[in-house]
Structure 1
Amino acid sequence: MNRKTLVLPAVIGLLAPVLVACGSADGGSGGGDAIVVGTTDQFIATEDTPAPLDPAYAYDTGAWNVLRQTIQTLLHAPRGGGEPVPDAAQSCTFTDNASESYRCKLRSGLTFADGTEVTAEDVKFSIERVRDIDADNGTAALLANIDTIEANGDEVVFHLSTPDATFPYKLSTPAAGIVSKKNYDGKKLREGFQVDGSGPYTMKTETKGEQITKVVFSRNSNYKGDLKLRNDKIELRSFADADSMGKALESGDIDMMTRAMSPEQIRDLSENPKEGIQLTEMPGLEIRYLAFNTNDPSVKDKAVRQAMAAVVDRGHIAGQVYGATAEPLYSLIPTTIAAHTNSFFNKYGEPSRTKAAEILDKANITTPVKLKLHYTTDHYGPGTAKEFEALKQQLNATKLFDVTIEGTEWAKFRPAQKRGDYAVYGLGWFPDFPDPDNYIAPFLDKGNFLNTPYVSTVARELIPQSRRAADRTSASKAFTQIQDIVATDVPFLPLWQGKQYVAARVGVTGVEWVLNSSSDLQLWELGRGTV
């Protein structure tokens, strides 16, 4: 059966958060005036990643969720989803029908937190800085289509190399964050954890060694933008694991916990509501996948990758490891995004050892194929280790593979992955913006964030073609073709897509808005009151 026919239309921006469990008692303050939020995101500065919070380098959800509170962008994602709206800008618009010239006018009286004026030249400097530094994390690729930037008075004009209807979304990401020449060098990264901008909050960090333990966000009295702050101070605490974060919520030491809650915690709070704690389910666009270093001898022959695609049981992984929080995924583009097709199911069908054996035999691959699968132990939550144990068992049960697994902390995992040390590795993706382009270009375009050696010439021709369409549904044909290319060549093996959850103490308001579908943390939405 072709599962394309089962895909529901995309409804991003229309999905409402769902309160799935509720206690009845009043919640504790969790830290005086500040609303205290827990996360398992780790913020570490090392020799390999000396500038984890520099907008020219940062390209992971945890770092971006810090930057969104402090660094202002011309545009931002609106509360209920949809096209970006002005923030630092008063207005922004394409000035031509071809989507090749984009003009923004700054708000009047705009200043950095220290009172220094924000100018059009600062905007130009900030974006050119990202492009000039061109860090190996892939951040600059978001802005690669810019040809030239003009700064005239209070206006900035971006001239694009090729038409790009998604460009406003890119200007709403921290990669396009506005920084000051006074605090940021135009040619090198700013090491450490200090962040200065014109966003809704200023920030101070507490550290232990090379790692942040706490970030305190205080209302920026100089902020002028579109966001409405519902609090004066937020404290973001980093926990080593989901269990310790959960205990802190139950004891009242924190007011809310966000990513990454464990599947067990979500299940427990759903089935056994705890007094004074609410669990809120929100629409999410996270995906998980395996990626391959296609230059590595063990997986260079695509028959090996295809055979893995033919036997991996996504349903078992999603159901047994993640339960109701995940569902199988057969494409890099999730089912809730327009242009999704079930390309991998259409090509390989249900998990089949027979089909996998035929693929390997036809390519004269000696079995069992020895592979090591790598994963990060501390970036996506405790379910990752169980997921990779399940993958190992599935592959080894076929006798076609001899698989071992190895977990590494994120601070070491990501640099090793970018160097090409791993033949097979697992990663997650939280979109920069909810468009099919952002599930394709960051993986397949030139300068992609994975530094993958895989190149599809056809895909790289189709990506800019797809961006010409202002009506994004009309780009579906190009995205369908790209998804089919990925299913054939298997440089990536999609596994599952997930929901997202937040647990908070009763009395904290705005919880239903604190995460949008792209997992952007919107701390300004939180407040205190009765619920």
Structure 2
Amino acid sequence: MTFRPLTAGLASVLALSASMALAERTDIVFGLQLEPPHLDPTSAAAGAIDSVLYSNVFEGLTRFGPDGSVGPGLAQSWEISDDGLTYTFKLAEGVKFHDGTTMDSEDVKFSLDRARAEDSTNAQKALFAGIENVEATDPTTVTVTLKNPDGNFLFNMAWGDAVIVAPESIENIKTTPIGTGAFMFDNWTQGDKIELKKNPEYWGTPAILDAVTFKFISDPTAAFNAMMAEDLDGFGAFPAPENLPQFDADPRFKVLIGSTEGETILAMNNKMPPLDNVKVRQAVAHAINRQEIIDGAMFGYGTPIGTHFAPHHPDYVDLTELSAYDPEKSKMLLEEAGVSLPLQLKMTLPPPSYARRGGEIVAAQLRQVGIEAQIENVEWAQWLETTFRGAHDYGFTIISHTEPLDINIYARPDYYFQYDNPEFQALMADFSVESDPDKRSEMLKTAQQTIAEDYVNGYLFQLPLHTVAKTGLEGLWINAPTQASDMTGVSWSE
């Protein structure tokens, strides 16, 4: 039997057939590294929850767009009083939760009152602290009165922590999330995947896809193999940047390189001796070689930062020189602080590759100046319980803060790195009520300078967003103004 190569014409026909087959698909299998600990975005700090549910299943009064802008969500319009204290939201009509119950102003009142209640477990409770009162004026009108004017209020309402939930379904929200979004929760096979299906009665622009499966693969090598085998259609925040050139050269795939709001930091426990001494924290900062971490853990992807602020923001101040790599200065500062060497401190590392890989490099750098970082790799739920909450049982940890414009977390002395600076707290309080753009800009610059000079944390790099996808997949976010895998506009191209 003789085999002949395909003619050009036949090859074209097959290529066209493959393209048409993709275009006919109405489902997607999308990889993520981190599995959510549960499915309630209003009671946990885990960004992995928003990665699956933000915009897809749950919606807020406002929402972030792919460019970071804040636009209408469940609130289609709003009016702001002249004194900046009263926001009157007009809700979209005909909105139903996935269980068939009506979403109205009483649900908005319930959600905001629950988030700001004394016993609230909302991880971003500070977003709601400025609310004085919420009134369900009529079924489609909500009036929110603030204690003081807040130029960030509409921005705050776009966070995943501010999505609207219903009292009827709140009891089981952690395992059976009921929202208003274009997709409905279908199934969660823990340790493996979460499946969503199209909401046939969605109030807004319907989703194009009929089904979305989020597949959780924590190991970078396994993620690479799954993509190459085409078991996945895409992978968000791809955990193996060393493989990106291989995908880029393969016509089956495309690589999207974008930015995130993720300030990746070596967080320090500011209340744990001797890290309660600013000289010791400064010594840690000068022992870090940022570029070595970016090259070794991120294969060159990432922008060095010297404070907790995104470099793409117009008010960013480059303060990297304040903590430039200088191991001899580190040794001098440790000696001045009277620290006995070697200094042993626990470093807890959550699952993301930037943390595990970066932690090994940081530990080696700290060792050069006499600091022994004892690495403890923990799963996400354990990190949340022992490092982020509770007794804050850690000396160092590496984490990327993916929330937008979140420098105000440094005004919370009970936050996990336990930085307590009354002057900074007063600055953020003034910022929250200031409406003049120029004054707000100066305040943000002062805030960046303050935490950099206090060496609250070791500031490493701004986390990039690497997405690998099949060539025919369209509509994925390139940048991540919030931690989300928004599938509401995703489709297969012809």
> Scaled by the length of structure 1, what TM-score is found?
0.83
Shift of 1:302: 2.0
SS in 2 for 1:281: strand
Task: Tell me what 1:131 maps to.
Answer: 116
SS of residue paired to 1:158: strand
Partners of 1:484 and 1:90 in 2: CA distance: 38
User: In the TM superposition, what are the counterparts of 1:182-261 in structure 2 within 5 Å?
Assistant: 182-185=168-171, 190=172, 192-207=174-189, 211-225=190-204, 227=205, 229-261=207-239
Q: What is the deviation of 1:497?
A: 1.0
The 3 A distance-change label for structure 1 pair 133 and 72 is farther
Of residues 401, 406, 421 in structure 1, which corresponds to 2:371?
401
Residue in structure 1 matched with residue 363 of structure 2 by the alignment: 392
Of 123, 133, 136, which residue of structure 2 is paired with 1:148?
Answer: 133
Question: Which of 308, 316, 322 in structure 2 is aligned with 1:340?
Answer: 316
Corresponding position of 1:494: 459
Partner letter of residue 272 of structure 2?
Answer: D
Deviations 1:363-383 (A, max 9, x none): 33333322232211x2x22x4
Is 2:28 the partner of 1:57? no
Report if the CA contact (8 A) 1:94-1:103 is conserved.
yes
Q: CA deviation at 1:232?
A: 2.2
Distance 1:31 1:316 in 2: 46
Shift of 1:480: 2.2
User: Using the alignment, how far apart are the partners of 2:478 and 2:111 within structure 1?
Assistant: 27
2:412 alignment partner, one of 442, 445, 463: 445
1:287 counterpart = 2:263: yes
Q: Label 1:514 to 1:32 Cα distance change in 2 as closer, same or farther (>3 A).
A: same
Residue in 1 that maps onto 2:401 = 429
Residue identity matched to 2:226: A
- Counterpart code for 2:215: R
Contact 1:263 1:323 (8 Å CA) reproduced: yes
Give the aligned partner of residue 455 of structure 1: 420
Q: 1:358 to 1:287 in 2, by over 3 A?
A: same
Q: Is 1:168 aligned with 2:154?
A: yes
Note if contact 1:164-1:464 (Cα within 8 Å) is conserved in structure 2: no
Match for residue 85 of structure 1?
71
1:37 maps to which residue?
Answer: 30
Correspondence 1:348-363 to 2 at 5 A: 348=323, 350-363=324-337
| Separation of aligned partners in 2, 1:476 and 1:483 | 11
Q: Is the 8 A contact 2:26 2:492 kept in 1?
A: no
Partner of residue 504 from structure 1, selected from 462, 469, 477: 469
**Match for residue 75 of structure 1?**
62
Structure 1: which 5+ runs fail to align?
1-23, 45-51
Give the aligned partner of residue 416 of structure 1: 386
Gap change, CA 1:403 and 1:501, over 3 Å in 2: closer
Structure 1 residues 88 and 280 mapped into 2: Cα distance closer, same or farther (>3 Å)?
Answer: same
1:8 aligns with none
State the 1:67 CA deviation: 2.5
1:465 aligned onto 2:465: no
Partner of residue 484, structure 2: 520
8 Å CA contact 1:329–1:494 kept in 2: the answer is yes
Q: Which residue of 2 aligns with 1:14?
A: none
Report the 3-state secondary structure (helix = DSSP H, G, I; strand = E; otherwise coil) of the residue aligned with 1:524: coil
Q: Aligned in 2, Cα 1:290/1:301: closer, same or farther, shift over 3 Å?
A: same
Structure 1's 134 and 238: CA in aligned 2 closer, same or farther, altered over 3 A?
A: farther
**Are positions 1:110 and 2:88 aligned together?**
no
Show the counterpart of 1:16.
Answer: none
Corresponding position: 1:365 with 2:331: no
Aligned partner of 2:8 in structure 1 is none
Unaligned runs of 5+ in 2: 1-14
C-alpha change, 1:447 and 1:144, in structure 2 (3 Å) is farther
Deviation at 1:183, TM superposition (A): 1.1
Alpha-carbon distance in structure 2 between the residues aligned to 1:31 and 1:415: 44
Q: Check the 8 A contact 1:29/1:255 in 2, yes or no.
A: no
Contact 1:246 1:257 in 2 (8 A): no
Q: How far apart are 1:254 and its partner, in Å?
A: 1.7
Structure 2: distance between partners of 1:36 and 1:386 = 27
Larger C-alpha radius of gyration, 1 or 2? Answer: 2
1:191 positional shift: 6.1
Cα RMSD (Å) of the superposition?
Answer: 2.5
| Structure 1 residue 124, shift from structure 2 partner | 0.3
8 Å contact kept, 1:29–1:252: no
Amino acid at match of 1:235: T
Report how far residue 29 of structure 1 moved: 5.6
- Name the SS of the counterpart of 1:325 in structure 2: coil
Q: What are the within-5 Å matches in structure 2 for residues 366-385 of structure 1?
A: 366-376=340-350, 378=351, 380-381=352-353, 383-385=354-356
Cα deviation, 1:427-456, whole Å, max 9, x if unaligned, reads 11112x3x3xx2x112333664x3x43211
Displacement of 1:57 in angstroms is 0.7
- Flag the 1:59–1:373 CA change in 2: closer, same or farther, 3 A: closer
| Distance (Å, rounded) in 2 between the aligned partners of 1:252 and 1:354 | 50
Q: Which AA in structure 2 matches 1:319?
A: D
One-letter amino acid of the counterpart of residue 235, structure 2: M
Structure-2 separation of matches of 1:35 and 1:329: 35
Distance change >3 Å, CA 456–CA 266, structure 1 → 2: same
Count of residue pairs the alignment pairs up: 474
Superposition deviation, residue 473 in structure 1: 4.9
CA separation in 2, counterparts of 1:410 and 1:194? Answer: 20
Quick one: which amino acid aligns to residue 358 of structure 1?
A: M
Looking at structure 2, the residues matched to 305 and 476 of structure 1 have their Cα atoms a distance apart, in angstroms, of: 27
Percent identity, please. 22
Report if aligned partners of 2:475, 2:490 keep a CA contact under 8 Å in 1. Answer: yes
